[in-house]
Amino acid sequence: MATNKRVFTLRLEDEVFDKIGALSTAQHRSMTNYIEYVLLKHIREVEQAEGEIRPPVPKDHD
Protein backbone atom coordinates (compact mmCIF):
# COMPACT_ATOMS: atom_id res chain seq x y z
CA MET A 1 0.00 0.00 0.00
CA ALA A 2 1.49 3.34 -1.07
CA THR A 3 1.63 6.19 1.40
CA ASN A 4 2.41 9.86 1.15
CA LYS A 5 3.84 10.04 4.65
CA ARG A 6 7.34 11.40 5.09
CA VAL A 7 9.98 9.48 6.96
CA PHE A 8 12.36 11.14 9.41
CA THR A 9 14.56 10.25 12.34
CA LEU A 10 13.44 11.12 15.86
CA ARG A 11 15.96 10.92 18.67
CA LEU A 12 14.55 10.31 22.14
CA GLU A 13 16.03 9.65 25.54
CA ASP A 14 15.60 6.05 26.67
CA GLU A 15 13.09 6.98 29.36
CA VAL A 16 10.87 8.90 26.92
CA PHE A 17 11.09 6.07 24.37
CA ASP A 18 10.11 3.50 26.98
CA LYS A 19 7.17 5.58 28.24
CA ILE A 20 5.87 6.12 24.71
CA GLY A 21 6.20 2.38 24.17
CA ALA A 22 4.13 1.68 27.27
CA LEU A 23 1.45 4.20 26.26
CA SER A 24 1.27 2.91 22.69
CA THR A 25 0.94 -0.68 23.92
CA ALA A 26 -1.89 0.33 26.26
CA GLN A 27 -3.67 1.97 23.28
CA HIS A 28 -3.02 -1.07 21.03
CA ARG A 29 -1.11 1.15 18.58
CA SER A 30 2.35 1.03 17.09
CA MET A 31 4.75 3.60 18.51
CA THR A 32 4.76 5.47 15.20
CA ASN A 33 0.97 5.53 15.05
CA TYR A 34 0.74 6.62 18.68
CA ILE A 35 3.22 9.49 18.18
CA GLU A 36 1.27 10.66 15.11
CA TYR A 37 -2.01 10.42 17.08
CA VAL A 38 -0.59 12.54 19.92
CA LEU A 39 0.84 15.13 17.52
CA LEU A 40 -2.43 15.43 15.59
CA LYS A 41 -4.35 15.83 18.86
CA HIS A 42 -1.98 18.60 19.93
CA ILE A 43 -2.27 20.35 16.55
CA ARG A 44 -6.08 20.32 16.84
CA GLU A 45 -5.87 21.80 20.36
CA VAL A 46 -3.50 24.57 19.25
CA GLU A 47 -5.65 25.39 16.22
CA GLN A 48 -8.77 25.56 18.38
CA ALA A 49 -7.06 28.00 20.72
CA GLU A 50 -5.04 30.03 18.22
CA GLY A 51 -6.44 29.45 14.74
CA GLU A 52 -5.26 27.48 11.74
CA ILE A 53 -1.58 26.67 11.48
CA ARG A 54 -0.33 27.54 8.01
CA PRO A 55 2.95 25.97 6.95
CA PRO A 56 5.26 28.35 5.07
CA VAL A 57 4.99 28.25 1.30
CA PRO A 58 8.27 27.02 -0.21
CA LYS A 59 10.06 29.54 -2.41
CA ASP A 60 10.79 28.66 -6.04
CA HIS A 61 14.35 27.52 -6.56
CA ASP A 62 15.18 28.70 -10.11
- What is the band of 62 on the pLDDT scale with cuts at 50, 70, 90? low
pLDDT digits (tens, 9 = 90+) for 3-53: 889 999 999 999 999 999 999 999 999 999 999 999 999 999 999 999 999
Q: How far apart are CA 11 and CA 1, in angstroms?
A: 27
Cβ atoms of 42 and 50 within 8 Å: the answer is: no
Go through 20-52 and write b for each residue having 16 or more CB atoms within 10 A of its CB, e for each that does not: beeebeeeeeeeeebbeeeeeeeeeeeeeeeee
Supply the pLDDT for residue 22. Answer: 98
Query: DSSP states of 10-21 as a string?
Result: ----HHHHHHHH
What pTM value is reported for the model? Answer: 0.80
Supply the pLDDT for residue 35. Answer: 97
